[in-house]
Structure 1
Amino acid sequence: MKIIELQVGQLGTNCYVVYCEQTLKAGVIDPGGSAEAIIAEIKKANLKVEYIINTHGHADHIAANDAVQQATGAKILIHHEDADMLTSAQRNLSMFIGGGIVCQPADQLLSHNDTVIIGSIELKVLHTPGHTPGGICLLSDKVLIAGDTLFAESIGRTDFPGGSYNQLINSIKDNLMKLADDVEVLPGHGPKTSIGWERNHNAFIQ
């Protein structure tokens, strides 16, 4: 699995383009803005984007969904508990930050332990509610794309509607802390980390 990393939108969301080297089939994870930059990277690598996957439904992770979908024909995937956030500016919080972002509804709804196949890549869906009810992480071999569930020495906010601190901590402990120390964590904001580093240094989950 190859990964192109971009910082997009006003809040510096980490968008990841994952692709299979053999087939050039790809998935775009959390296109939260900067649609032109994302599309340029896709064209530059000659990728065939099959899926747009949102780790959750907040505006800074979905804002470029429609533009990327129009450019690629990809299907939009999101956990079923966050699906209505795509079509509601109130639910995705954009109406509160001077926007009003609404997207096309999802083409496919995800659940815990689903697998998304992209060429030779298998992305396992881990439902990790707490930041939002339908927050997910995506696991492939030794890489975890964590959305806003787990950050470097921090965790996602839980003070938004639908958030729960206790639920988020339980999600991390029950799903992520069972992974091997050498699993690389690619969060929705900020620098990379690893499961081992967070296990030993993240004060929220000690």
Structure 2
Amino acid sequence: MAYTGDVTPRGLADVRELEHLTITKYAVDPEMANNCYLLLCRDTGEQLLVDAADGAESLIQLCDGTLETIVTTHQHWDHHRALAELVEITGATTVAGAPDADAITEQTGVPIDRTVGDGDTVSVGSCELRVISIAGHTPGSICLLYDDPAGHPHLFTGDSLFPGGVGATFGNDEAFRQLIDEVETKLFGPLPDDTWFYPGHGGDSTLGAERPHLAEWRARGW
């Protein structure tokens, strides 16, 4: 079946097969409906997990106990509840945005092995993910861009961008302005309409589907 990105917590994963990368989307818990994304390099077999959000046992089964890297998109508690257990079992290298790294360690007890920022790259086998820092939801939130050489770009946005709007800024007007400015200039500005994005909760979308609504989001303030 064709990939849709529609998953239910603790239900079946949805799998997208690209030429060099397999993307497996899995929703872990009914309370927060966090999405986790397992990326498998088809050339080398190496694996990377975007957000060890919860459900360590299920995630271990998903990756068959082998994981080279875990990227945490931001410091909020619901995105790293399984981080400590997965690192203990797999020995995976941990990666996070520099401004959020200390908070993630304080909350999980897990040191961040590598801190990253704008323009850095994170590899999964022969595939390269470019880091895009998007502040506002948290100071150190990051997105990961895989520019598929055989197709369109794929963007993992954490809680910075969703279908229908940007992430929550909890009533902080300055943080909202920063978030929507950076989403507009760093994501919508340089990336094409066919960029498919994968958020930290809920369904996926494309930048083309959301682009007409940017002014509306800015005007409503959330």
TM-score range, shorter chain: 0.7 to 0.9
Contact 1:27 1:49 in 2 (8 A): yes
The Cα shift of 1:155 comes to 1.3
Shift of the 151–125 alpha-carbon distance from structure 1 to 2, 3 Å rule, reads same
Q: Is 2:210 the partner of 1:198?
A: yes
Contact kept, 8 Å, 2:23 with 2:40, in 1: the verdict is yes
Secondary structure of 1:87's match?
helix
Tell me if structure 2 keeps the 8 A contact 1:6–1:15.
yes
Show CA shifts across 1:18-44 (max 9, x none).
Answer: 11012110101011101111100111x
Residue 94 of structure 1: aligned partner: none
Task: Report if the CA contact (8 A) 2:196-2:206 is conserved.
Answer: yes
Tell me which amino acid in the other structure corresponds to 1:126: I
The question of whether the paired residues in 2 share the 8 Å contact of 1:173 and 1:205 is answered with no
Cα distance in structure 2, aligned partners of 1:138 and 1:182:
16
Match among 127, 144, 161 for residue 150 of structure 1: 161
Q: Indicate the percent of aligned positions where both proteins have the same amino acid.
A: 36
* Correspondence 1:121 to 2:142: no
Contact 1:63 1:103 in 2 (8 A): no
Q: Report matched runs for 1:24-173 at 5 Å.
A: 24-43=45-64, 48-89=66-107, 102-141=108-147, 142-159=153-170, 164-173=175-184
**Scaled by the length of structure 1, what TM-score is found?**
0.87
Rounded to whole Å, the distance in 2 between the matches of 1:175 and 1:60 is 25
Report the count of equivalent residues.
190
How far 1:87 moved relative to its partner?
2.8
The 2-side partners of 1:201 and 1:36 are apart by: 39
Deviating above 6 A after TM superposition, structure 1's stretches of 4 or more consecutive aligned residues are none
Query: Which runs of no fewer than 5 residues in structure 2 stay unpaired?
Result: 1-20, 148-152
Partner secondary structure for residue 131 of structure 1:
coil
2-side partners of 1:182 and 1:33: how far apart?
Answer: 30
